[in-house]
């Protein structure tokens, strides 16, 4: 880190928060605790960009870019170095733009491919997630905007406490599955793209509950201005910038149409001083190409997205050469194997048959009287896979709910109005296999989510579940 930047940050921390020197020492002195988590890939992306002296293509965006882009295939087709520069929407698109300024040079091409959402197309910034991502790599602070540095200053004590807790307890966060840094490695070496095998779609019914309504996506003028200024900065360096798209699961377009999507894109085109090179309809893809959410590709789906991105760039480059990226066979989704669990409260619910099992649709009169309840794992020899968001809403009796691992999705607003609910106990061991949005606990302000002690870190550092980090609590299963 540059001396001036470090001095600036330390003085800010001291003046704004009156933080003792001991806390500053802990914060900066404790070895990195998050370098093995998914966040830990960001410094590698940053350093690859910083050290590359060649003309290059930088694919900039959020996690859809990380899950969808095979940089090795792009390099073979386009004869240029390709740098992946997207990891996590919760870090913020603005942060990725700011960090990319470490090395944009003459002849470079920026492919700006944010997720099509109110968050992806905004100046959203998370200090907590950014601290985790740059943990131990504080030179990256030089490229964080001053207003965001101030927000990070306010979050520094919490970040230090989180690091210190891991450090004194003798271990870094224990993570498993795709959300770890070595998901981007081959034979222990950085690959530059995601290598973790994601064989098929693991979402309930091929999608999570998120639906896209283009009329509800808010793109504020402040973001438009910031992006246009960024585009001008790119061009001032002798580089160029294009706008392209990320993959979208067709199942999220229940009400929206291709015409709605194109109308949304046309509004963006009118405001942005950036050339659009893709057709959004070509990025609306079969659900079987996706993995754990509606923009994350599985391993086969990476070929589909990468090929389309290459073809868009070849048109922009006026390159008429054939694209030799072979699309694999679309992966089938195997039937899951379920274990029968505790069905003591089976008669407390009503049910509906769905593909691959059944779901809970409501409470019986007996169910409405319970203050403690265990969701059944099976009903009529079918696995119970989900429950409607209306099942518990406005229930003033329920205090504690146990959720078996068969439940594959937890819907937003499921506990709205459950004013006495204080414990939601999950039996799941893998956060990848239970979808969750950002409003699960809306209207249930006293509720905490309990996960088994040995799997706590996997949930706390998961792409989706980390949103509930402050509401997650450990328990020991008897």
Report pLDDT for 207: 85
The per-residue pLDDT for 174 is 81
- Tell me which of 317, 338, 362 is where a domain ends: 317
> What pLDDT is recorded for position 52?
97
Quick check: is 106 in a domain?
yes
Per the CB < 8 A criterion, the answer to whether 45 and 193 are in contact is no
378 is written with which tokens?
């099976």
Q: Please, is 448 exposed, middle or buried when counting C-beta atoms within 10 Å of its C-beta (0-12, 13-18, 19+)?
A: middle
Q: Are residues 389 and 267 in the same domain?
A: no
pLDDT of residue 409: 87
Q: For residue 252, is it within any domain? A: yes
Give the span between the Cα atoms of 269 and 261, in whole angstroms. 12
Residues 260 and 366 grouped into a single domain: no
* Domains: count for the chain: 2
CATH number at residue 141: 3.40.50.1110
Arithmetic mean of pLDDT over the chain: 91
- Tokens 């002296």 found at: 53
Is the same domain home to 199 and 251?
yes
Residue 66 shares a structural domain with residue 108? yes
Same domain, 53 and 198: yes
- Would the pLDDT of 2 be above 70? no
pLDDT of residue 24: 58
Are 308 and 359 within one domain?
no
CB 345 within 8 Å of CB 374: yes
Positions of E strands within 122-235:
185-186, 189-190
- CA dist list (Å): 120 to 96, 114, 116, 193: 11, 6, 6, 21
pLDDT of residue 474 exceeding 50: yes
Q: Is residue 410 domain-shared with residue 272, that is, in the same domain?
A: no
Which pLDDT score, from 0 to 100, does residue 380 have?
92
- Residue 85 pLDDT greater than 60, yes or no: yes
Does residue 339 lie within any of the structural domains? no
- Least reliable range by pLDDT among 24-28, 102-106, 298-302: 24-28
My answer on whether 88 and 228 are in the same domain is: yes
pLDDT tens digits along 200-227: 998 887 887 678 889 889 999 999 999 9
Cβ atoms 436, 428 nearer than 8 A? no
Same-domain pairing of 273 and 374? no
Are 387 and 433 in a shared domain?
yes
170 and 285 share a domain?
yes
Evaluate whether residue 288 is within a structural domain: yes
pLDDT digits 0-9 by tens, 245-300? 999 999 988 777 889 999 999 999 999 999 999 999 999 999 999 999 999 999 99
The more confident residue out of 125 and 338 is 125
Residue 376 lies in a domain: yes
Backbone dihedral angles phi then psi of residue 107, each to the nearest 5 degrees: 90, -10
Q: What percent of the chain has pLDDT over 90?
A: 73
pLDDT for 16 equals 40
* CATH code, 454: 3.40.50.12480
Asked if residue 104 has pLDDT above 90, the reply is yes
Q: Which residue has the higher pLDDT, 338 or 430?
A: 430
Summarised one tens digit per residue, pLDDT across range 310-333 is 999 999 999 999 999 999 999 998
For 15-29, 149-163, 403-417, which range has the lowest pLDDT when averaged over its residues?
15-29
Q: Name residue, tokens 């868009």.
A: 312
Cβ atoms 95, 125 nearer than 8 A: yes
Domain region containing 57: 3-317
pLDDT at position 208: 76
- pLDDT at residue 73 above 90? yes
pLDDT greater than 50 at residue 17: no
pLDDT given for residue 476 in this prediction: 82
Tell me whether residue 318 is exposed, middle or buried, using C-beta atoms within 10 angstroms of its C-beta: 0 to 12, 13 to 18, 19 or more: exposed
Instruction: Read off the pLDDT of each residue in 95-112 and give the average, rounded to a whole number.
Output: 98
Gap between the Cα atoms of 103 and 50, Å rounded: 5
Residues 376 and 298 in one domain: no
pLDDT for res 61: 98
The label of the residue with tokens 């309990």 reads: 450
pLDDT at 1 over 50: no
């Amino acid at each position: 880190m540059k001396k001036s930047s470090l001095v600036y940050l330390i003085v800010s921390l001291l003046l704004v928060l009156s933080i003792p020197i001991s806390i500053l020492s802990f914060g900066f002195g404790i070895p990195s605790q998050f370098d093995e988590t998914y966040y830990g890939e960001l410094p590698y992306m940053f350093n690859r960009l910083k050290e590359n002296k060649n003309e290059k293509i930088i694919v900039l965006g959020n996690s859809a870019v990380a899950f969808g882009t095979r940089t090795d295939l792009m390099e073979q087709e386009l004869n240029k170095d390709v740098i992946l520069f997207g990891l996590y929407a919760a870090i913020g698109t603005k942060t990725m733009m700011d960090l990319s300024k470490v090395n944009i040079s003459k002849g470079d091409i920026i492919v700006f491919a944010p997720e099509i959402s109110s968050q992806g197309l905004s100046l959203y910034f998370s200090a907590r997630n950014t601290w985790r991502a740059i943990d131990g790599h504080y030179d990256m602070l030089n490229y964080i905007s001053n207003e965001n540095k101030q927000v990070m200053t306010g979050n520094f004590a919490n970040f230090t406490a989180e690091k210190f807790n891991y450090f004194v307890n003798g271990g870094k966060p224990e993570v498993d599955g795709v959300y770890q840094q070595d998901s981007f490695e081959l034979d222990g070496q950085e690959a530059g793209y995601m290598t973790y095998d994601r064989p098929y779609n693991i979402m309930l019914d091929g999608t999570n509950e998120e639906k896209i309504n283009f009329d509800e996506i808010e793109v504020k003028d402040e973001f438009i201005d910031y992006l246009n200024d960024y585009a001008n900065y790119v061009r001032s360096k002798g580089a160029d910038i294009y706008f392209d798209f990320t993959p979208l699961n067709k199942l999220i377009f229940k009400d929206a149409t291709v015409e709605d999507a194109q109308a949304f894109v046309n509004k963006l085109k009118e405001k942005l001083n950036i050339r659009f090179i893709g057709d959004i309809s070509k990025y609306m893809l079969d659900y079987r190409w996706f993995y754990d959410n509606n923009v994350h590709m599985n391993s086969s789906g990476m070929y589909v997205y990468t090929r389309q991105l290459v073809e868009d760039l070849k048109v922009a480059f006026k390159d008429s050469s054939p694209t030799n990226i072979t699309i694999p066979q679309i992966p089938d989704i195997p039937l899951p194997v379920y274990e029968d669990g505790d069905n003591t409260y089976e008669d407390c619910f009503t049910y509906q048959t769905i593909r691959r099992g059944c779901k809970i649709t409501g409470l019986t009169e007996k169910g409405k009287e319970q203050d403690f309840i265990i969701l059944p794992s099976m009903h009529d020899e079918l696995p119970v896979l989900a429950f409607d968001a209306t099942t518990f809403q406005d229930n003033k009796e329920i205090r504690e709910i146990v959720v078996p691992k068969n439940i594959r999705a937890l819907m937003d607003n499921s506990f709205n109005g459950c004013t006495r609910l204080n414990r939601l106990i999950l039996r799941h061991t893998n956060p990848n296999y239970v979808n969750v949005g950002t409003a699960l606990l809306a209207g249930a302000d006293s509720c905490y989510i309990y996960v088994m002690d040995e799997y706590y870190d996997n949930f706390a550092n998961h792409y989706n579940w980390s949103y509930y980090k402050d509401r997650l609590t450990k328990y020991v299963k008897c």
